[in-house]
Structure 1
């Protein structure tokens, strides 16, 4: 195989960084989905989630907002289970000289995770 052929299949530095942010979102969503939450515990849960994900390699920052009004409406005075419909999340990862910012927010009833920006750290 020539070097030109291998260059076409090697991931770019931006792709490596984007993959890394995807790992963070997968971990965040699947680790915490189903956690019992109320409007009273939402803030402390959000901070704990941020700190847990920020422990992972290459993670620069995590910001989680839990919609306490929507929780209260869904829980009808008690608690409910955490799902993507209650969260807005932003994660920043720095890897291979690139910074990737990704976001999760509701889009047509679905918690859509998407890349917002990819920047060169140099």
Structure 2
């Protein structure tokens, strides 16, 4: 059996991985970027264990093709997600680092002595 801490880290990782692979290649422009960011946030927040998510794209990497749009690439993502399982919290991030769209755990902790009414 896994601990809440192990599960919360797994949930953060699996959600970032799914988000990345689901959205890479999506047609996007500087005009539509905001609505796509919001759509991703609204979809992911519905999933179990997700407390918060922020999605931002680097619009400077959006170069239009001859049809007036770009394709969403991993290097455009700047995503932060907070997951919770029980009283364990994980903050994870997907963002470019040294030329690669890296997913990593930023912080993970458990809160003690809270009411179980949450």
TM interval, short-chain normalised: 0.7 to 0.9
Residue 101 (structure 1) shift:
0.2
Instruction: Please list every run of 5 or more consecutive structure 2 residues that lacks an aligned counterpart in the other structure.
Output: 113-118
- Secondary structure of the structure 2 residue equivalent to 1:75: coil
2:14 maps to which of 20, 23, 29: 23
Alignment of 1:1-122 (within 5 A): 10-71=1-62, 74-75=63-64, 78-122=68-112
Q: How many residues align?
A: 111
- Secondary structure of the structure 2 residue equivalent to 1:20: helix
> Normalising by the residue count of structure 2, what TM-score does the alignment of the two structures yield?
0.87
Instruction: Answer whether contact 1:104 1:114 (CA < 8 A) is retained.
Output: yes
Instruction: Answer whether contact 1:16 1:96 (CA < 8 A) is retained.
Output: no
> Normalising by the residue count of structure 1, what TM-score does the alignment of the two structures yield?
0.84
Compare CA radii of gyration and give the structure with the larger one. 1
Residue 37 (structure 1) shift:
0.3
Residue 89 (structure 1) shift:
0.4
- 2:115 aligns with none
Moved over 4 A (4+): none
Residue 76 (structure 1) shift:
5.4
